[in-house]
Amino acid sequence: MVLSRTRVAVLVTMVVVALGIGLMGAVGFASPKDNDDAHHNNDKGRNTLTVLSKTAQVKELDLGPAGLSQGDMHVLNAPLYNESGKEKVGRLDLVCVVTDPADEPTEKAHIEECTKTFTVPGGQISAEGPEAHPLAPGVNPITGGTGKYAGVGGEERFEVRGKKVINTFHIIE
């Protein structure tokens, strides 16, 4: 059987196109997937969230000897605002227990172990760890979440600016 040059050219073109499509499919199948089901924040590429807290309600509990001592607590709740500080987006609930009171002349701050729950649109983010008080900039691990934050990890960075505390979450999905 003899094929004309035109038929050979068409057959070769079809084979090349079929191989190309097959190769693209294989590469696509083997590549890491980036689907919305894996993104807990439903915002592709976004791995940070910043909220501000201000005007907190604080209750100090002096549980040991009079004055600051190990085991004393403070309990706090505060509204959370977006990064610009103009729109209320949730709330912060926090409990801290004094683990190391500043009882030496050279100590400028005492240390507290704090557990925080940030209720934000789409769920909650929990963070905990030691913090210096008066509050100094610090970092705590994200220990859990609910809703679109279920299963995330990462860290919460916090710092005081004026009468606000800025909390920035670096979320690892």
- 50-89 pLDDT, tens digit each: 999 998 899 999 998 999 999 999 999 999 999 999 999 9
> Is residue 45 assigned to a domain?
yes
Q: For residue 58, give its domain range.
A: 41-172
- What whole-number percentage of the chain has pLDDT above 70? 73
- The proportion of the chain whose per-residue pLDDT surpasses 90, expressed as a percent, equals 63
At 148, give phi and psi (nearest 5°). Answer: -70, -5
More confident residue, 31 or 105: 105
Cα(53)–Cα(81) distance, integer angstroms: 6
Q: Within this chain, do residues 56 and 17 fall inside the same structural domain, yes or no?
A: no
Q: Are residues 99 and 126 in the same domain?
A: yes
78 in Cβ contact with 90 (< 8 Å): no
Does 72 reside within a domain?
yes
Are both 71 and 109 inside the same structural domain?
Answer: yes
Mean pLDDT of 6-34: 41
pLDDT at 13: 46
Q: Report the helix count and the strand count for the chain, using DSSP H and E.
A: 1, 9
Residues 50 and 133 in one domain: yes
Confidence of residue 3 (pLDDT cuts 50, 70, 90): low
Query: 9 or 5, which is more confident?
Result: 5
Average pLDDT over residues 128-145: 95
Instruction: Give the tokens for residue 59.
Output: 């209750």
Statement: residue 33 has pLDDT above 50 = no
Residue 139 placed within a domain: yes
Residue the block writes with tokens 């085991």: 71
Please state, as a whole number, how many other Cβ atoms lie within 10 Å of the Cβ of residue 169.
Answer: 24
Residue 132: which of 108, 159, 111 has the closest Cα? Answer: 111
Burial of 163 (0-12, 13-18, 19+ CB in 10 A): exposed
